[in-house]
């Protein structure tokens, strides 16, 4: 996972870790560990973040540099 992207996306939206933790129904400490690369984020939370940030999971994990989400089929 591209841990810098998690932080960049959050900061680009002027949010704090506690805000995203609340969105993901987790603690600020757990979310901090996702950003630091200490803990792996479950796929359901990655999906929720991708939807929230209007991007793709692939962008969040560093598989692509294209921010725009994939088109719906």
**What is the model's pLDDT at position 19?**
98
The verdict on residue 41 lying in a domain is yes
Provide the residue range defining the domain that includes 22. Answer: 3-61
pLDDT of residue 28: 98
Task: Name the domain count of the chain.
Answer: 1
72: in domain: no
Q: Which residues of the chain have pLDDT under 50?
A: none
Burial pattern 40-66, b for ≥16 Cβ within 10 A else e, equals ebeeebbebbbeebebbbebbbeeeee
Residue 12 belongs to a domain with what CATH number?
1.10.260.40
């Amino acid at each position: 996972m591209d841990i810098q992207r998690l932080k960049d996306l959050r900061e680009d939206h002027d949010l704090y870790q506690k805000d995203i933790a609340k969105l993901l129904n987790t603690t600020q400490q757990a979310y901090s560990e996702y950003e630091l690369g200490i803990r792996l984020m479950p796929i359901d939370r990655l999906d929720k973040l991708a939807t929230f940030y209007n991007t793709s999971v692939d962008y969040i994990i560093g598989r692509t540099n294209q921010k725009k989400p994939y088109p719906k089929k």
